[in-house]
A and B are shown apart, each in its own frame.
Chain A
Amino acid sequence: MSQNLENSNQDSLISVRVIDIITALLFIVVGLVVMFGSLKLGANWSSDGPEAGYFPFYISVIMLLSSAVNLYQAAIVHKKTEAFVNKESFKQVMAVLLPAIVFVLGVQLIGIYVSSVFYIAFFMVWLGKYRIWKAIVVSVGVSVTLYLLFEFWFQIPLPHGSWFNPLELVGVQ
């Protein structure tokens, strides 16, 4: 931990303060969206009781107030200059997040089974530096297990791909 703090200022990408401010601002934006949404629905009292926007309106008011305090504290009171994330950790986080996004896109387009094979194998070869054949054995193993578990045992079909179902190529449904 202490090592982290020492290194943090050298290769710091962005400070906690900036992220804190951005997050508080995003909260305020969400609060405003909810507020306008509920005003549009009607946040008043109608003949049959409170309207649909009555409760969310007050939620948005509280959210705006507390987020304003958060913004004030982040920007003026605390001024945390330490790093939110340094270069190395940022790379690591992105190394999980970006492939995960591609994976979910894959789930949507070509189904979960084939995407999982690619995703797990890619991860193992790229980050784990495994031999390709090992990666293929593990990833295909996981995927086949998933297929058997869900399609046969639980009888819950998982996504097969909205654009193209690669399982058709090998003759399974």
Chain B
Amino acid sequence: MCNKNYQLKNEEKDLKKGFKLEEINALFNGFAIAMSPFNLLLMLVGVTLGVIIGVLPGLGGANGIAILLPLTFTMSPTSAIIMLSCIYWGALFGGAITSILFNIPGEPWSVATTFDGYPMARKGKAGQALTAAFTSSFVGALFAIVMITFLAPLVAKFALKFGPPEFFAVYLLTFCSFVGMNKGSPFKTISAMMLGFALATVGMDTVTGQLRLTFGNPELMRGFDFLIAVIGLFGIGEILLSMEEGLAFQGAAAKIRRQVVLNTWAQLPKYWATSIRSCLIGCWMGITPGGATPASFMAYGVAKRMSKSKNFGKGQMEGIIAPETAAHAAGTSALLPMLSLGIPGSPTAAVLLGGLLIWGLQPGPLLFVEKPDFVWGLIASMYLGNIAGLIVVLTCVPLFASILKIPFSIIAPVIIVICAVGAYTVHNAVFDVWLMLGFGFLGYLFKKLDYPMAPMVLALVLGDRAEDSFRQSMLISQGSLGVFFSSYVVTGITSLALLMLLWPLIGKVLKKHS
């Protein structure tokens, strides 16, 4: 008996070892694909474009990629996703530049970086602050990528057994997490989300072939494309908000000397604990769709609480390391559920998922089996792209900072023109440009009234797929909701989802008791 057990354990160990090796093999194959000169060039282009996008107000990871997506239709999917994901890494890096030098967060997830980054820059330590920010971004991303490398195939393998009820339960969990994780009113989150679902149903019904909610308007037959929504909500909305604040860029001088970089790097290992904590927070918030922004705030808060220093808010190094590490870890790990389950963890991941669908790839667990070259090429490019990103931002900061010297009265109309071009090229329809403008105003309104935009965008992206899995589950069970509690796995996921949904309520009760 004992012997048998031992044997079994040994076999298990071998299996695990084999599995790990398999991944490392696949990863090396991926490197071979990503390392082609053309792909390396795309990486550099992507990262540079991404940093520019991250620096400019009104353009960010999500809508920047949405605008460029139609231009990649002619490329091979692997090259296209390498370029687009590198834009994402670039945008994640770029957000820090404006926060530290100009006290203006280029991206929402770099708001927390301004707290200590800008004071440091004003003390003449801009070089140190930037180096710390970029390096910790890199560390956060690297941590998340290693996690993706080993965890994503496992999740995908597990999810291969999923049927429609399991998938719907995962969708439910995704959306309920938004309610549980969001700081604002849960009802506003739900309303925004339902608006996304409602917009997603407009157009042709994939199951019955009927036209839904088009009210006889031929332009609505195409439905609402989420790319248009992303461009409008995040692009035009952002411009309107910046305009209202009457932006005037006044920044510290930017230049990073090699000596400063080396000195800062020598200091950074001191903050390993903050780093690891922020990595974990980031990964957790990225996989569950909390997103990079709350992750950066949470990491900042935790770092502040755990630190003995009272210098926070006046230029404390940890105050830069924590949010940057967490934001980058979250932004990167948002790709894990996107790759392994076909469920994006952030609007930007959603746009990348939209890209996969357009290139004819079905995101989800089967992707690892059917298109290993694509998946592992992408994962390998994440390593390379982030290294490229780090080099680009460390060497070219003055260049990127000078972009911000272009006055807003030139940047604003040019960005609106670019957004219009992006919206038009999605379906070659001028009607979409009008829609973009509408979504832009909606984005402005949402931002001012604390309606969250991410759940709405994800609902718009996933609406059809969530509905399909819901209908299929209903068909299996002949209309009984009991199917979502029919096995251990599905019961577990559904219960977790309900827990997340009720979290705001539970949190309140717990607070009262303590």
Q: Which residues of A contact B (CB under 8 A)?
A: 16, 19-20, 23-24, 27, 30-31, 33-34, 37-38, 41, 45, 49-56, 59-60, 62-63, 66-67, 69-70, 73, 84-85, 88-89, 92-93, 95-97, 99-101, 103-104, 107-108, 112, 116, 119-120, 123-124, 127-128, 130, 138, 142, 146, 150, 154, 156, 158-159, 162
Q: Which residues of B contact A (CB under 8 A)?
A: 70-71, 185, 187-188, 190-191, 194-195, 197-198, 201, 205, 207-208, 210, 212-213, 215, 236, 239-240, 243-246, 407, 409-410, 412-414, 416-417, 420-421, 424-425, 428, 430, 433-434, 437, 440-441, 444-445, 448-449, 451, 467, 470-471, 474-475, 479
Overall SS of chain A's interface? helix
Q: Count the A-B residue pairs with Cβ separation under 8 angstroms: how many?
A: 164
A19-B449, A56-B213 known; A128-B470 Cβ under 8 A:
no
Kindly list chain B residues whose C-beta atoms are within 8 Å of the C-beta of A162.
Answer: 430
Overall SS of chain B's interface? helix
User: In the bound complex, how far is the Cα of B189 from the Cα of A68, in angstroms?
Assistant: 13
Kindly list chain B residues whose C-beta atoms are within 8 Å of the C-beta of A31.
Answer: 194, 198
Q: Are B420 and A104 closer than 8 Å at their CB atoms?
A: yes
User: In the bound complex, how far is the Cα of B187 from the Cα of A30, in angstroms?
Assistant: 16
User: In the bound complex, how far is the Cα of B240 from the Cα of A117, in angstroms?
Assistant: 21
Kindly list chain B residues whose C-beta atoms are within 8 Å of the C-beta of A19.
Answer: 445, 448-449
- Residue in contact with B421 in the complex, picked from A55, A56, A112, A127, CB distance below 8 Å: A112
- Residue in contact with A100 in the complex, picked from B207, B416, B425, B471, CB distance below 8 Å: B416
CB nearest neighbor in B for A74: B449
User: In the bound complex, how far is the Cα of B190 from the Cα of A127, in angstroms?
Assistant: 39
User: In the bound complex, how far is the Cα of B434 from the Cα of A89, in angstroms?
Assistant: 24
User: In the bound complex, how far is the Cα of B212 from the Cα of A30, in angstroms?
Assistant: 14
User: In the bound complex, how far is the Cα of B416 from the Cα of A27, in angstroms?
Assistant: 27
Q: Are B417 and A116 closer than 8 Å at their CB atoms?
A: yes
Q: Are A97 and B240 closer than 8 Å at their CB atoms?
A: yes
Q: Are B195 and A63 closer than 8 Å at their CB atoms?
A: yes
Q: Are B210 and A52 closer than 8 Å at their CB atoms?
A: yes
Q: Are A124 and B471 closer than 8 Å at their CB atoms?
A: no
Q: Are B212 and A41 closer than 8 Å at their CB atoms?
A: yes
CB nearest neighbor in B for A117: B417
Q: Are A52 and B207 closer than 8 Å at their CB atoms?
A: yes
Q: Are B420 and A112 closer than 8 Å at their CB atoms?
A: yes
Q: Are B420 and A103 closer than 8 Å at their CB atoms?
A: yes
- Residue in contact with B213 in the complex, picked from A34, A49, A63, A112, CB distance below 8 Å: A34
20 contacts between A and B (CB under 8 A): A23-B449, A27-B191, A30-B195, A30-B198, A34-B213, A38-B212, A49-B475, A51-B208, A56-B201, A59-B201, A63-B191, A66-B191, A69-B187, A88-B246, A107-B430, A112-B420, A112-B424, A154-B71, A156-B71, A159-B430
